Amino acid sequence: MKSRQASKRLKNGLFLVFFSVVSLAYLMPIGIVVINSFKRKAYINKYPFSLPTGRDFVGLENYRAGVEAIGFFEAFGWSLFITVGSVSLILLCTSMCAWYISRVKNRWTRAFYYLCVFSMVVPFQMVMYTLSKTADSLGLGNPLGITVVYLGFGAGLAVFLFAGFMRSVPLEIEEAAMIDGCSPPQTFFLIVLPILKPTMVSVGILETMWIWNDYLLPTLVLDQKKYKTIPMAIQYLKGGYGSIDWGLMMAMLVLAILPVILFYVACQKYIIKGVAAGAVKG
Amino acid sequence: GRSESSSDSAAGQGKVYYLNFKPEQKDQWEALAKEYTRQTGVKVNVVTAASGGYESTLKAEIAKSDPPTLFQVNGPVGLSTWKDYCYDLSDSEVYRQLKSEEFALEEDGQVLAVAYAIETYGLIYNKDILRRYCQLEGAVISDASQIQNFETLKAVAEDMQSRREELGIEGAFASSGMDSSSDWRFKTHLANIPLYYEYRDEGITSAAAVKGTYLENFRNIWDLYLNNSTVEPSLISSKTGDDAASEFALGEACFYQNGTWAYEQISGYEVADEDIGMLPIYIGVEGEEDQGLVTGSENYWCVNKKAAPQDIQATLDFLEWVITSDEGRQSLAQEMGFVTPFKTFGEEYTPDNPLVKAAEEYVQEGKTSIGWYFTTMPSDQWKNDLGAAMLEYAQGTGDWDKVKTAFVEGWASEYQARQ
Amino acid sequence: MASIRFDHVVKTYDNGVTVIPDLNLEIQDQEFVVLVGPSGCGKSTTLRMIAGLEEVSGGGLYIGEQKVNDLPPKNRNIAMVFQSYALYPHMSVYRNMAFALRLKKLPKEEIDRRVREVAAQLELEPYLKRKPRQLSGGQRQRVALGRAMVRDPQVFLLDEPLSNLDAKLRTEMRAQISTLHKRLSATFVYVTHDQTEAMTMGDRIVVMKDGRIQQVDTPQALYDRPKNRFVAGFIGSPQMNFWQTEVLRGPEGWRLRGAGLEFGVPGWQLEGYEGKNVTLGIRPEDIHAEEVMIKAHPDALVRGKVSLAERMGSEIYAYFASGSQKLIARAPARTGIRGGDEVVMALDLNKLHLFDADTGERIPRQG
Amino acid sequence: MASIRFDHVVKTYDNGVTVIPDLNLEIQDQEFVVLVGPSGCGKSTTLRMIAGLEEVSGGGLYIGEQKVNDLPPKNRNIAMVFQSYALYPHMSVYRNMAFALRLKKLPKEEIDRRVREVAAQLELEPYLKRKPRQLSGGQRQRVALGRAMVRDPQVFLLDEPLSNLDAKLRTEMRAQISTLHKRLSATFVYVTHDQTEAMTMGDRIVVMKDGRIQQVDTPQALYDRPKNRFVAGFIGSPQMNFWQTEVLRGPEGWRLRGAGLEFGVPGWQLEGYEGKNVTLGIRPEDIHAEEVMIKAHPDALVRGKVSLAERMGSEIYAYFASGSQKLIARAPARTGIRGGDEVVMALDLNKLHLFDADTGERIPRQG
Amino acid sequence: MKKTLKRWFPLFGLPTLAAFTVGFLVPFVVGLALSFCRFTTVSDARFVGLANYKSILGDGDFLHALWFTALFTLVSVVLINLLAFAVALPLTKGLRGTNLFRTVFFMPNLIGGIVLGYIWQLIFNGVLAMFGRTLTYSPVYGFWGLVILMCWQQVGYMMIIYIAGLQSIPGELYEAARIDGANPRQILFRITLPLSMPAITICTFLTLTNSFKLFDQNLALTAGQPSNKTQMLALNIYDTFYSRAGWEGVGQAKAVVFFVLVAGLALIQLYITRRREVQQ
Ligand SMILES: Nc1ncnc2c1ncn2[C@@H]1O[C@H](COP(=O)(O)OP(=O)(O)OP(=O)(O)O)[C@@H](O)[C@H]1O
Ligand SMILES: Nc1ncnc2c1ncn2[C@@H]1O[C@H](COP(=O)(O)OP(=O)(O)OP(=O)(O)O)[C@@H](O)[C@H]1O
Ligand SMILES: [Mg+2]
Ligand SMILES: [Mg+2]
């Protein structure tokens, strides 16, 4: 017993050490962003890797100035609204849709599935103007409307992911629910959804990241006269002649990724192991 | 007139939607718009496209139901894309107030675009370093004013480069950053000079094909930049305009090719404002002693022809207000730092930008300004190809013939592709 | 009214295999029907069609007067115990059992009362908070059973609900289910492989083979008068002994000869079989080893050496061969038969079964 | 050498529940041991520890001479049939069965031969190409069994391998497994709830309860001399009848009184129990209803009305009450007992079991 | 079940379908139509037939971009998936620090492609400067730079999907395999991998299309330098849109060609991997 535990501990130790090293290397680029967010801009280009010391250290000045320059908090509000709204809508609608097309198999659902796949393949350049035109003529150029655009544009990936994972849910469990008197919506919400939770969380994370960081789509679709998201706002730190205020940029980047990291960490614990275990024989 | 539109009923009242090109001036435009609205009740929206995203934003926005009424093009080539959307400004106040018709873009007798900002570029230099150089033993010159042609510039630069330790600098020229976000300094601005001389020889202002008469001179100045710089030529692709700006700002280089707009970036560091000067870019052409700086505009206003009539009117009114009212002039000149081509801007509206002052001095000295002919370059593709060839030449992976090919043959084929 | 009627029902799976070619069956309201048959004969499929989980490929399925081919499961008011349990992995035992009731929006106390009552019956109380994956096989099966038992449906479907329980618990559960049946006034369809369950629980037993019904009858009738050789062999454990015999006409009536034996079968009418073979069947408990029984049935005695004597506690299953014919007899433990013993046993000729050698159909005894 | 030894083995699950507090057991090389016990008593856990699937929380587990607490499963040379099957969903039946052999890199023909042989034994040939989800419950279980049977391990673990099969198939399978045991010379550990399997297949039976071993003995010994009341009640179906009796000293020896009966028990030494209660146990088959048997055992007669007569084909289970004491008797079908009958039955006093009323321990019969 | 569910299309399918139509289908079809037009904006298109497509044929850069992209896709799809799976495996074993490491590997995704491109450009150039070179010195550097950047960014993303896939495999199957005598490697190849097929399908598909469509990173890291030798298809299309007046239609046509290519590839890939999946 001891030897097994010992070897296990050794293995764990090795794992820890190895992954810690890799992690540090992995984080380096992000570290650079953080470090430089405390530097004065002229020094960032010259000495990107040095720690902010002495004359190039400006403390939180970049953060303060950046927040002011781009109207960070307003942009943050819209970003939050759009991201939360769109991701919720996507998760809800596409998981339902994916369930539908993987349980009702016919020509139409299969066709729709492949359309979803296609939508991921299409280069954005091909649809960007037509998308902005369509959204505009339907009056979707506001934060509420853009959630619908995101749903439509993000449906491909989400449906694809959900449909893929739907296969590992044993059918018998859903049948049991039907017998217990569940209507399809109840079966879905009370049984399928909880079992798919890890997938939900994963898809949620991926979509959140996409929407939170997305620049082009909101630029094209949103009514810029009224609304700005963080990525749109951050763009103003780039000057007309290709010069970029890296100090403010880095600071704003740090602020922009913080919420997503927090969100991710919070979601981690829902990615639990083997939810369907013990449910069926076979 | 303004009084009419402001007295219109709310329903018939037009509104202005300005799609601004320059992120640097975003705040000033918004403030100005607010002020105008406060005064007249006419709604003015200002949206600023992100850097590098103007064309795509404009393409998307102008197709929407509520399109920009005021947008901008960067010159004749840009205009050709948008000419179908340009309202004829012949009768407008902005056109009438131009100091010279030269500052408007016309086609088929229609005035389609009006420049609103005049900018100047050349070789920005650090007077302090140059002064220190002149005091050195055996300096090639004794005063900055002696640099009047390419030979002198070359001699000075090479001497400075070899004595950079003594001067406490890292190179005569700031790095010629060819990063794709900043290579316009060379592939367009520098290439403008040989182009200018060729046009001058031919007596034209645009061309379907070029000969590349002055390409050797172009090579000389490019070599000079590369060989007497803070970095190895092989590393320039990793350098940006910002790098160069900070090298200059931190006093590490003496010369830095850029324009009046660079003032923001370089002021406030190691170089004092009064030490910032600007020289013409000499490339070794006969009689270049009389050459001045490169002055022109890349910023032209266009009014959207397809907007609602009352919106067009409101936009014209707004523009008039901008160039005639105190608030407008103050903002344009002092806050945005533009030199404008309008008669309404007198002496008092000169920005306090040492580079602008330097530019004015040259004009007053009677030197010939060089125009911004790069706005006639056939396409961005041409510029990109030229830039790529220049870079390859610089880092030693390509030869000068490629630059020639890109310049001469590329011009013809791109010009053709445009049609 | 929850009678169930299969009217020429056909079921073909997606892979093209027709597992139920033509099913006709009528189950009365409130009847308790047991479905038995070899593994893979289509019992679960039949149940799943009643539940609405499998589409009927042809024919009509009626619950009460209503044709339900297209009725979704939840509208059929059915409870079902799945052969593979199909527990909700993300819910505790309690929530698994309460689920159907919560859907019906019963009051909380009512749900709690019912769940706890059933949990107590199933001896599941200590596990109410656990998730299915933390349970033993038998516990899982009881949860599956409990989930159905809390409900109040018009049809109750059970697919081998007790297969993973021990004998004692199984006896108790059997009683529970019978009680439930009485209380609920629902129609029960019960699939089992356990002879005891089949014999004791059902009003009628349906014997299936390859998707076809072989016989539908009360348990005792099935046991005493199996309709064909398959049913005779399938019901009863150990299996009935079979052998081929030739039909002879003797002076006192019909005689049978085979496997070294010859005896008269006075009560039978074998007209038409003379000189042909018929299959003779006799159950192991009708082969007697005890002196007193041998005396009572002296007509057909078999002799042989016991090759294996399985001691089952109260009984011994004696495997022996009379000539080339292998036989099993079921003798009380007190006979003390052991492997290797030479034995003489008597066939109880009153308990003979005869089957047509070709069709396997039962030959009825007359008079 | 594949003897298996549990030396003070403890098993505690992650949720902190100790399901095996202290297990000591020695299984001989090539022995066939059957594990029985109520649902949830720790049988599967025990098997899984032998397999190496569950870590041993304390004590030592030995296979042969080797302590295997830390040996990974694949080095233990074990075959196992899982209670929940655990078939590979992505492999056909054939590939499921061939999997272990392919891992051992046996030649293709050898694998094919073995798989087909076992498939034939299990009547799985028509399904070799199917995926598990296209099989019926019993077919899946047979695949699980087949997957183990193709192998040639030193220890064979079977967790209720026949629970979903019908009686006939089960009888055949039982024989197959016995044959396999003889051929393989491996050690078999077999978990079952089926009394027939337990009684017929094992060299020894281990009876567990709440993770503790109650008795380890040969089947017949277990049946005849259960060590305590739990074992007595657990083995045998229907269950043994129990009631409390008072021990009296009569002139001819010890007497028992309880539930309206009083009789002498000459063969027993009940010194020390005088005036106290002991639990009396008698199996249903030792309560006789037939005239001839009543005559043979006239000492203790019970009378009562039959509340339920379960007809089991060859037998009838008669539930009746003698006074307040409920009893089950197992009578031959020929007695024709029916519910509602008034019956007189005789207890076979030679077959009595007595247990200490407090500890439940068996009181041995002497002389 | 199928029948019961079918009627619920308005609830389950319709919202997504409607949004999909607005957000994708309509723009896509109009976009398709635009590829046959000459236009500046969507509203002023003029039909020109196949002219745009003809212009593509003579475009050498486009062909080079095609090969470059194909090669890049091949290398990065293989590398990203191998690495992501290799990272996901130990991170589903419940070891200590798992959550932390998952977060770390995921973090690169939190920063948009353009900025990442710039940061990596700094790093690469910093390293290459020691050898007197830069990233755009030769297309080879650019190529591997892109590969490294993509791996760095995408591994965490794919890891998430692989983790979700790995966790849906019932634990009993591992047990059965261990009993059957499989060593860890065999378990990996015969149980884990086949049963992770849904995740593998998804990930190869995503990496395939992501690599093929790569734009931001390409733009920021090399912008096609030197001489468009590291220009990928999306960037080529983008350049076509903006680098010449009046070439919007050609860009659109290129996008269509590009779409047809990727769709074909993706379908083949889907067909191959989907066949290996099973419903449990
Ligand atoms: N993963 C687990 N976590 C916690 N408790 C468990 C777990 N697995 C089993 N148990 C508990 O351990 C006890 C023994 O389980 P085990 O599976 O060994 O029972 P068993 O004897 O095989 O029963 P059955 O005959 O019902 O299969 C049960 O009470 C069960 O609830
Ligand atoms: N999804 C399916 N696809 C194809 N064939 C199937 C499917 N499900 C079951 N079958 C086949 O249909 C037949 C009947 O299956 P069913 O499950 O009804 O049998 P069963 O009588 O319940 O057997 P058991 O007693 O073994 O559970 C079997 O031969 C089985 O292989
Ligand atoms: Mg079944
Ligand atoms: Mg178990």
Q: What is the pLDDT of residues D128-159, one digit of tens each?
A: 999 888 899 999 999 999 999 999 899 999 99
Cβ–Cβ under 8 Å, residues C218 and C205: yes
Digit-coded pLDDT (tens) for E117-135 = 777 887 887 777 777 777 7
- Residue that the structure tokens 């000189």 belong to: C275
Residue E191 confidence (pLDDT) above 90: no
Taking the alpha carbons of B66, B69, B72, B73 in that order, is the dihedral positive or negative?
positive
Cα–Cα nearest to C93, from C144, C45, C47, C136: C144
Secondary structure in 3-state letters for B29-60: HHHHHHHHHHHHCCCEEEEECCCCCHHHHHHH
Among chain C residues, the shortest Cα distance to A194 is held by C90
Tokens of residue B408, six digits? 């001469």
Whether C70 and E3 lie within 8 Å, measured CB to CB? yes
Distance D44 CA to ligand 1 centre (A): 7
Q: Quick check: do C and B touch, 3+ CB pairs under 8 A? A: no
Tokens of residue D222, six digits? 């277990």
Specify the CATH number for the domain of residue A272. Answer: 1.10.3720.10
Q: Are residues A56 and A192 in the same domain?
A: no
- Give the H/E segment covering residue C269: none
| Ligand 2 first shell, C-beta below 6 A | C 13, 15, 17, 19, 37, 39-45, 83; D 127, 134-139, 164
Q: Are residues A98 and A216 in the same domain?
A: yes
Q: A41 lies in which domain range? A: 2-61
Could you give the 3-state DSSP secondary structure of residue C60? strand
Q: Report if residue E41 sits inside a domain.
A: no
Q: Report if residue E54 sits inside a domain.
A: no
- pLDDT at residue C215 in the model: 95
Confidence of residue E1 (pLDDT cuts 50, 70, 90): low
Q: Which ligand is nearest to the CA of D35?
A: 1
Q: Are residues A138 and A168 in the same domain?
A: yes
- pLDDT at residue B23 in the model: 79
Does residue B109 or residue D8 have the better pLDDT? Answer: D8
For the segment E134-139, the average pLDDT, to the nearest whole number, is 77
- Percent of chain E past pLDDT 70, that is, above it, reads 96
> Which residues of chain C, if any, have pLDDT below 70?
1, 367
Q: Which ligand is nearest to the CA of C141?
A: 1
> In a mutagenesis test of the A interface, which of B25, B29, B64, B299 is the best target, namely the one with the most A β-carbons within 10 Å?
B64
Q: Are residues A138 and A17 in the same domain?
A: no
Q: Quick check: do D and A touch, 3+ CB pairs under 8 A? A: yes
Q: Are residues A48 and A79 in the same domain?
A: no
DSSP secondary structure code for residue B231 in this structure: S
- Percent of chain E past pLDDT 90, that is, above it, reads 5
φ/ψ of E253, rounded to 5, equals -65, -40
HSE-up of B372 (CA within 13 Å, CB side)?
24
Cβ–Cβ under 8 Å, residues C252 and C365: no
Let me know if C183 is exposed, middle or buried by CB neighbors in 10 A (0-12, 13-18, 19+): exposed
Residue D104 confidence (pLDDT) above 50: yes
Distance C86 CA to ligand 3 centre (A): 13
Per-residue b/e over D77-104, b at no fewer than 16 CB within 10 Å? ebbbbbbbbbbbbbbbbbbbbbbbbebe
- Ligand 1 pocket: which of C125, C136, C141, C170 to mutate (most atoms within 8 A of CB): C136
Distance B389 CA to ligand 3 centre (A): 76
Q: Report if residue E264 sits inside a domain.
A: yes
CA A117 to chain centroid, in Å, comes to: 19
Number of domains in chain E: 1
Q: What is the mean pLDDT of each run of 10 residues along chain B (419 residues)?
A: 39 79 82 88 85 80 85 82 84 83 82 86 87 84 84 87 85 83 84 86 82 86 87 80 83 87 80 85 84 85 87 87 86 82 81 83 83 82 86 85 88 78
Whether C88 and A176 lie within 8 Å, measured CB to CB? yes
Cα–Cα nearest to B44, from B305, B302, B317: B317
Whether A279 and C104 lie within 8 Å, measured CB to CB? no
- Percent of chain A past pLDDT 90, that is, above it, reads 9
- Residue that the structure tokens 């296209």 belong to: D134
Beta strands in B54-197 (DSSP E): 70-73, 104-107, 110-126, 171-173
- Which residues 132-171 on chain E approach chain D with CB closer than 8 angstroms? 170
Residue numbers in E near B84 (CB within 8 A): 40, 44
φ/ψ of E131, rounded to 5, equals -105, 15
Among chain E residues, the shortest Cα distance to D88 is held by E173
Pseudo-torsion of CA D293, D299, D305, D310, nearest 10°?
-40
- pLDDT at residue D31 in the model: 93
Q: Report if residue E66 sits inside a domain.
A: yes
Q: Report if residue E19 sits inside a domain.
A: no
- pLDDT at residue B1 in the model: 33
Q: Among residues A24, A39, A61, which one ends one of the domains? A: A61
Cα–Cα dist A235/B56, whole Å: 14
DSSP secondary structure code for residue B88 in this structure: P
- pLDDT at residue D348 in the model: 87
E164 touches A: beta carbon within 8 Å: yes
C-alpha to C-alpha distances, B70 to A154, B84, B291, B296, D273, nearest whole angstrom: 34, 14, 36, 21, 113
Confidence of residue A243 (pLDDT cuts 50, 70, 90): low
Whether A191 and C147 lie within 8 Å, measured CB to CB? no
Cβ–Cβ under 8 Å, residues C203 and C31: yes
C55 touches E: beta carbon within 8 Å: yes
- pLDDT at residue B7 in the model: 39
Q: Among residues A42, A61, A80, which one ends one of the domains? A: A61
Whether A112 and E126 lie within 8 Å, measured CB to CB? no
Whether A235 and B53 lie within 8 Å, measured CB to CB? yes
Q: Are residues A199 and A97 in the same domain?
A: yes
Q: Report if residue E204 sits inside a domain.
A: yes
- pLDDT at residue D36 in the model: 93
Specify the CATH number for the domain of residue E181. Answer: 1.10.3720.10
- Which residues 47-76 on chain A approach chain E with CB closer than 8 angstroms? 48-49
Q: Are residues A80 and A47 in the same domain?
A: no
C164 touches D: beta carbon within 8 Å: yes
Cα–Cα dist E80/E74, whole Å: 10
- pLDDT at residue E278 in the model: 59
Q: E106 lies in which domain range? A: 61-274
Q: Which residues contact B262 (CB under 8 A, 6 or more apart)?
A: A241, B124, B245, B256, B355
Q: Report if residue E15 sits inside a domain.
A: no
Q: Which residues contact C274 (CB under 8 A, 6 or more apart)?
A: C247, C248, C249
- Which residues 211-270 on chain C approach chain D with CB closer than 8 angstroms? 219-220, 223, 233-239
Tokens of residue C27, six digits? 């189950």
Residue numbers in A near E23 (CB within 8 A): 131, 135, 148-155
Bridge-based pairing state of the strands D187-191 and D155-159: parallel
Cis peptide before C238 (omega within 30 of 0): yes
Tokens of residue A114, six digits? 């492949």
- Ligand 2 pocket: which of C45, C83, C214 to mutate (most atoms within 8 A of CB): C45
Q: Are residues A246 and A230 in the same domain?
A: yes
CA C1 to chain centroid, in Å, comes to: 26
For the segment E69-84, the average pLDDT, to the nearest whole number, is 92
Cβ count near D272 (within 10 Å) = 8
CA-nearest residue, atom 2 of ligand 1: C134
Cα–Cα dist A224/C92, whole Å: 50
Mean model confidence pLDDT for chain D:
89
Taking the alpha carbons of C87, C89, C94, C98 in that order, is the dihedral positive or negative?
negative
Q: Are residues A14 and A77 in the same domain?
A: no
Confidence of residue E251 (pLDDT cuts 50, 70, 90): confident
Q: Which ligand is nearest to the CA of D159?
A: 4
A206 touches E: beta carbon within 8 Å: yes
In the structure, ligand 4 is a single-atom ion and the residues with CB under 5 Å from it are C 136-137; D 44, 83
Whether C73 and E2 lie within 8 Å, measured CB to CB? no
Among chain A residues, the shortest Cα distance to E279 is held by A167
Cα–Cα dist B33/B319, whole Å: 11
- pLDDT at residue E122 in the model: 78
Whether A117 and E266 lie within 8 Å, measured CB to CB? yes
- pLDDT at residue C295 in the model: 86
- pLDDT at residue B6 in the model: 39
Cα–Cα dist C17/C15, whole Å: 6
Cα–Cα dist A96/A102, whole Å: 10
- Amino acid type, D298: P
Give the number of residues written for chain D: 367
Distance B68 CA to ligand 1 centre (A): 72
Could you give the 3-state DSSP secondary structure of residue D87? coil
Q: Are residues A128 and A242 in the same domain?
A: yes
Cβ count near B360 (within 10 Å) = 14
Cα–Cα dist B179/B157, whole Å: 23
For the segment E202-213, the average pLDDT, to the nearest whole number, is 85
Cα–Cα dist A253/A245, whole Å: 12
Q: Are residues A151 and A195 in the same domain?
A: yes
State whether the beta carbon of D192 lies less than 6 angstroms from ligand 1. no
Confidence of residue A282 (pLDDT cuts 50, 70, 90): low
CA-nearest residue, atom 19 of ligand 2: C40
Digit-coded pLDDT (tens) for E15-39 = 888 988 888 888 888 888 888 887 7
C-alpha to C-alpha distances, D58 to B50, B279, D111, nearest whole angstrom: 68, 88, 39
Q: Among residues A43, A61, A79, which one ends one of the domains? A: A61
- Residue that the structure tokens 């062909």 belong to: E63
Beta strands in D84-173 (DSSP E): 155-159
Number of domains in chain A: 2
Residue E102 confidence (pLDDT) above 50: yes
Q: Are residues A27 and A83 in the same domain?
A: no
Cβ–Cβ under 8 Å, residues B172 and B388: no
Residue numbers in A near C48 (CB within 8 A): 175
DSSP string, chain E: -HHHHHTTHHHHTHHHHHHHIIIIIHHHHHHHHHTTEE-SSGGG-EE-TTHHHHHHHT-HHHHHHHHHHHHHHHHHHHHHHHHHHHHHTGGGTT-TTHHHHHHHHHGGGGS-HHHHHHHHHHHHHHHHHTTT--TTSSHHHHHHHHHHHHHHHHHHHHHHHHHHHHHTS-HHHHHHHHHTT--HHHHIIIIIHHHTHHHHHHHHHHHHHHHHH--HHHHHHTTT-STTTT--HHHHHHHHHHHSTT-HHHHHHHHHHHHHHHHHHHHHHHHHHHTT----
Mean model confidence pLDDT for chain A:
81
Cα–Cα dist E34/E250, whole Å: 9
Digit-coded pLDDT (tens) for A83-135 = 999 999 999 999 999 999 988 888 888 888 888 888 888 878 788 888 888 88
Q: Report if residue E258 sits inside a domain.
A: yes
